Amino acid sequence: MERILVIDDDPGFRDLLDTILSGEGYAVDSGASVTDARRLGATRQYDLVLSDLRLPDGSGLEILRWFAEQMPDTPVIMITAFGTIESAVEAMRSGAEDYLGKPLQSPEELRLTVRRALDQRRTRREHALMQEEQARRFDCQGMIAGDPRMTAILDLARKVAPTNATVLLTGESGTGKEVMARCIHLNSARSQRVFVPVNCAALSPTLIESELFGHERGAFTGAVAQHLGRFERAHGGTLFLDEIGDLDGNLQAKLLRVLQEKSFERVGGVRQITVDVRVIAATNHDLKSQVAEGRFREDLYYRLNRFPLEIPPLRDRASDIEPLARYFLARASKELGKAPPVLAKAAVETLLSYRWPGNVRELENAMERMAILCEERVDPEDLSMLQAGDQRPLRWRDIERQAIEEALRMNHGNRTLAAQQLGISLRTLQYRLKEYEAR
């Protein structure tokens, strides 16, 4: 649901905007001043801001500048007294997305202006995503993989990437299945289009159908607006279905139909929607066993398993551990704005002697911690969380958990902002939270 902030010191006009926008299915917050705008903007992300130009404690242009600095991808629509063209021109020159006259000519004028601004924002974000994917483009040879087993897998990935074949990636959690999926996408003819990931295990059966296939307005309680699913968003690109083995049986049937017919209906809809999507699926389960036990459809398994790639665990790719560790340590240090500490030879031996139950993801997390904790050098004693087996020392776990909980509290549960404050990646934060839930 898209969230809009309305700032106007006229309570009657503010309530009118709130009523119209809420009726369109948007979540609306409101305030009466520049101070209110900054306070609300500091605690919540907004997709759009509507602000009166004249406010009791300043100008709407101050709000425009504040959001340009704090949330540069959030468009601002200025509200100006009807007929004051000069003010509207000034607002547009200052970076406003659009402007509205006050009073409104009609509710439809507001609806159209807001819809146009949100559509333009969506288009800009999709374009930026494509540019980011292009900037991150690399071929499979560019991946850090010197172990013979892994280079053989990369050779297969290079061969399948230019095709439209469905790929099934298997392997333990944390081996890098999503990284491999992105590599295949970025080396395909679809590389200029979007890569859309979805974790099938992270959503309940009641939510994942809507998330994959979308829903129509009124399809169920809370469906206040039409929602485009991941398949539609991935049109022309690649859809990555992670943890496919956790997919509900009914959804397995619907997924099979999409793979066979390239079409589906949204939840609550009757219109057939046709899509052009390449599917890459991944699982850490033994799907063959699930098929034998009747927990996974045999026909879907064979449809997904057109081109299987099994990614070996990190403990079976010992020659990759040191170069991966140095890469993650350098990257994490760069994000922190510091020079990477030296990885001592004895520390490398500690890394090589560890079994890495969490695979590449665990190694990445360990190096992120080393970047934070170590200034000039990483020694074996700094890696005590590995020497103790697959558990971090109790004191470190408690400190780490308290820091994460405090960051989430300060950022009102926003995981992205909490991760930025902690100086770790969002994936690391999510990995840690999953660990805490399991205890």
One-letter amino acid identity for 16? Answer: L
So what's the pLDDT on residue 28?
A: 95
Phi-psi category of 49—alpha, beta or left, where left has phi over 0 and alpha has psi -120 to 50? beta
Max Cα distance, the chain (Å):
75
Which CATH fold would you assign to the domain 317-391?
Answer: Helicase, Ruva Protein; domain 3 (1.10.8)
So what's the pLDDT on residue 284?
A: 92
Q: CA neighbours within 13 Å on the CB side: how many for 359? A: 15
Q: What is the CATH number of domain 144-312?
A: 3.40.50.300
So what's the pLDDT on residue 101?
A: 85
Q: Which CATH number fits domain 3-131: 3.40.50.2300, 3.90.180.10, 3.40.50.720, 3.40.190.10?
A: 3.40.50.2300
**Cα gap 263→279, rounded to integer Å:** 14
pLDDT in tens, the chain (439 residues): 899 999 999 999 999 999 999 999 999 999 999 999 999 999 889 999 999 999 999 999 999 999 988 888 899 999 987 656 677 777 788 888 888 888 888 999 999 999 989 988 887 777 666 555 544 444 565 577 778 898 889 889 989 999 999 999 999 988 999 999 999 998 999 989 999 999 888 777 778 888 898 888 877 777 777 888 899 999 999 999 999 998 888 889 999 999 999 988 888 888 889 999 999 999 999 999 999 999 999 999 999 999 999 999 999 999 999 999 999 999 889 888 888 999 998 899 999 999 998 899 999 999 999 998 898 899 988 898 775 444 444 555 666 778 888 889 888 888 888 887 876 767 677 767 876 664 4
**Cα gap 362→434, rounded to integer Å:** 13
Nearest of 273, 287, 275 to residue 243 by alpha carbon: 287
So what's the pLDDT on residue 135?
A: 45
**Cα gap 47→120, rounded to integer Å:** 11
For the chain, give every residue range classified as CATH 3.40.50.300: 144-312
So what's the pLDDT on residue 436?
A: 67
So what's the pLDDT on residue 392?
A: 44
For the chain, give every residue range classified as CATH 3.40.50.2300: 3-131
**Residue 435 burial by Cβ neighbours in a 10 Å radius (0-12, 13-18, 19+):** middle
For the chain, give every residue range classified as CATH 1.10.10.60: 394-439
Burial 319-356 (b: 16+ CB within 10 A, else e): ebbbebbbebbbbbbeeeeeebbebbeebbebbeebeb
So what's the pLDDT on residue 166?
A: 96
So what's the pLDDT on residue 299?
A: 95
- Give domain 394-439's CATH superfamily: Homeodomain-like (1.10.10.60)
